[in-house]
Structure 1
Amino acid sequence: MIKGLSKFFTAIVQKFLPDPLVFAMILTLIMFISGIIFTGHTPIDMIGFWGKSFWNLLAFGMQMALILVTGNALASSPPVKRILQKIAGVPKTPAQAIMLVTFVAAVANIINWGFGLIVGALLAKEVAKKVRHTDYRLLIACAYIGFMTWHGGLSGSIPLLAATKGNPMEATIGLIPLGDTIFAPFNIFITVALIIILPLMTRMMMPKDEDVVEIDPALLAAEAANETSTDTITEKTFAVRVENSRIIAWLIGILGVCYMVYYFMNGGSMDVNAVNMIMFFAGIILHGSPVSYMQAIVDGAKGTAGIMVQFPFYAGIQGMMDLSGLGGMITSGFVSISNTHTFPIFAFLSSGIINFFVPSGGGHWVVQGPFIMPAAQALGADMGKAAMAIAYGEAWMNMAQPFWALPALAIAGLKVRDIMGFCVTTLIVGALIFGVGLALF
């Protein structure tokens, strides 16, 4: 059944899913028209909302870009690379390869979503080289499917924002400690269930032998040529020695570690900036030289091109949804039919719908937080679970929203249409896991 569904969705996606930038433009037009029809605002109003909000996510976009490039730098450091190569040598069959990539990606995304996306894609590529007759498209899809665990992990932006002083909802509901979100029993159950079930599910999506698409040899040739060019020995002048100095890298790395110890000892919280700083200095230490780290940052920055171009469009969509009141209408509609017990489920579903237009955890907190959280408070619902319901809806619907697949696709040399059929199939299984976790605890 799962194999049949993935084959069906892959065929649909190949025919109808446009490039992610075009997808964002289409969503912009849909939101523009919807705001006029459903909220009574004029076209001029909607244009004003769009243009006024177009650059609203620049700071957040920079944080997200840094998570990606520092995650890439950490994942591509020699020690982590050696670990990935050893892990890639473990599976002996395509089924084992598929399950391993899904499992490692899911665990890595719990540690950090940027790190997880990159590690998953790099591991998938290494596995594709070693385990013949494994479908390369599915391997990269597995790397992205593991992304479903991210919002229940240590870099989940909504639980981190909810626990951070100065976040938009603090004045209304106060701070929500991580013990009520990331470390709560319901989140531990959901996260462990995803880690166990997703690898089994991706194994069932393996195509028939005649439909398998292996890695393109041209990608391997280009990678080998790139590695050869970076190994070129240059004259060891003073400047070159300084650029490759382990002492400088380690001293700066130690400085960063000392600051993080100081930061947490003085009441600092694990927010987005803290996660970025940890990834930043860990990468410098593991690369062992400033120039090696900088090259890794340059390589990682290539994967942020789609984010840089698309984030303003999604900021504009978020602005139209927020300022027109359409986001509130969607959320309020679900809230109005909820009670204390069903509230998290309906919050989850509304978040999934909104994620199609605003694929950003932080953006969800801005659009949905002012409606979901006061309603949860009024109903006497669990505040931590309400916040995580918003987070889960975002993580769940990412399987149908190609925005965050861009970095993995940049590493893999694939297009979004190659993997999204497998990802859309994951929506069905993911909905069951999230639903059970929110309903039972």
Structure 2
Amino acid sequence: MAFLFTGKTNGESMINILKFWQNGMWDPALLVFAVQMMLILVLGHVLVLTRPVSWITEKLTSIVKDNASAVVMVSVSTMLVAFFNWGLGLIFGAIMARKVGEAARDRGFKINYPLVGAAGYVGLMVWHGGISGSAPLKAAESGHIKSLFSGKGSENLVQQLPDSIPTETTIFADWNLILFGVLLVLVPMLLWVVSKKTETSYVELLAEKEIKRNSIIEGAEKLDHSKYLSLIFGILLITAFLFSYGSNLLAGNLTPNMLNFFMLGL
């Protein structure tokens, strides 16, 4: 589109467009942002596969008795988790939908499995208003807003921009929390109404294939599998997190690095 609509449709124009794109791709600020977002997703994914979270999903699944309770439980739990971390919520919702399907198969009650699957993704409606929302977190970084406009306009106007916008005025603002609370009630209610009007059926799921793992752990691999080393390292990270970001935490001001450091510790 840039090639067709910028006035010149020749070889030199195409080469310039590719160069602009290449330079933009390796922009340091953009690479930092990309890594921050990848860490939110990867660390959230890792955390949702841990034993404590698996225990929570099992407890939540045990209260499901029918189609209506299934969609309400999945949607509420997914929205709460997604408000904390979008990467965590994305994987958690899918796992909860699968767990409910397995519970319906094992305990013999009917559900509308596609509707349960849809309930597992409603966290995407609230994640950006949550504490892993990329725009409010980046705006809370000192100097980030000014860096976006530096060299692209009047320096006097750039200097008038705030150094940062703290998350207490965005994520933790009353209007945002009220909106999240309203969605937390209305979305499950809507799904409950839909669940009463949709057909249900018994779920047939293929059993998960058992993955054969090498049970013999020798040499340095013992360090990789050591619970004590990971526990010590995790405690050190959480301790460093509290010392480094304790004042920010009390002030309700979060940044992407702060959130990712906490997730890494967990």
Q: TM-score, normalised by structure 2?
A: 0.79
1:119 to 92, 107, 112: 92
Q: CA, structure 1 residues 177+245, in 2 after alignment: closer, same or farther (shift >3 Å)?
A: same
Aligned residue in 2 for 1:143 = 120
What displacement does 1:114 show? 1.0
Q: Distance in 2 between matches of 1:216 and 1:68?
A: 30
Question: Does residue 274 of structure 1 match 2:258?
Answer: yes
Question: Does residue 156 of structure 1 match 2:100?
Answer: no
Q: Over residues 215-250 of structure 1, what are the superposed CA-to-partner deviations in whole Å (9 max), with x where a residue is unaligned?
A: 6623xx2x3413xx24x6x23534343232122111
Question: Does residue 194 of structure 1 match 2:194?
Answer: no
2:102 to 129, 137, 145: 129
Counterpart secondary structure, 2:121: helix
Whether contact under 8 Å (1:162, 1:169) holds in the other structure is no
1:217 to 175, 191, 205: 205
What displacement does 1:58 show? 3.6
Q: Distance in 2 between matches of 1:169 and 1:203?
A: 46
Q: Distance in 2 between matches of 1:243 and 1:99?
A: 40
Counterpart secondary structure, 2:102: helix
What displacement does 1:80 show? 1.0
Q: CA, structure 1 residues 193+253, in 2 after alignment: closer, same or farther (shift >3 Å)?
A: same
Q: Distance in 1 between matches of 2:260 and 2:31?
A: 16
Q: How does 1:196-275 map to 2 (within 5 A)?
A: 196-206=185-195, 208-209=198-199, 217-218=205-206, 221=207, 223-226=208-211, 229-230=212-213, 234-265=215-246, 269-275=253-259
Q: Over residues 100-148 of structure 1, what are the superposed CA-to-partner deviations in whole Å (9 max), with x where a residue is unaligned?
A: 1111111101111111111111111111111243233322222222221
Question: Does residue 176 of structure 1 match 2:165?
Answer: yes
Q: CA, structure 1 residues 48+199, in 2 after alignment: closer, same or farther (shift >3 Å)?
A: same
Q: Distance in 1 between matches of 2:265 and 2:240?
A: 10
Q: Distance in 2 between matches of 1:60 and 1:205?
A: 39
Indicate the structure whose relative CO is greater, using CA pairs within 8 Å and at least 6 residues apart: 1
Whether contact under 8 Å (2:25, 2:31) holds in the other structure is no
Identity, % of aligned pairs?
A: 29
Aligned residue in 2 for 1:63 = 36
Q: Distance in 1 between matches of 2:119 and 2:126?
A: 12
Q: How does 1:86-101 map to 2 (within 5 A)?
A: 86-101=59-74
Q: Distance in 2 between matches of 1:204 and 1:191?
A: 20
Q: Distance in 2 between matches of 1:66 and 1:157?
A: 12
1:53 to 21, 24, 45: 24
Counterpart secondary structure, 1:204: helix
Unmatched 5+ residue regions in structure 2?
A: 148-158
2:80 to 86, 92, 107: 107
**RMSD of aligned alpha carbons:** 2.6
Unmatched 5+ residue regions in structure 1?
A: 1-31, 283-441
Counterpart secondary structure, 1:225: coil
Whether contact under 8 Å (1:109, 1:147) holds in the other structure is yes
Q: Distance in 1 between matches of 2:93 and 2:68?
A: 16
Q: Distance in 1 between matches of 2:260 and 2:47?
A: 11
Q: Distance in 2 between matches of 1:194 and 1:46?
A: 43
What displacement does 1:68 show? 1.4
What is the identity, as a one-letter code, of the residue corresponding to 2:226? S
Q: Over residues 250-286 of structure 1, what are the superposed CA-to-partner deviations in whole Å (9 max), with x where a residue is unaligned?
A: 110111011101211465852112111111110xxxx
More helix by share: 1
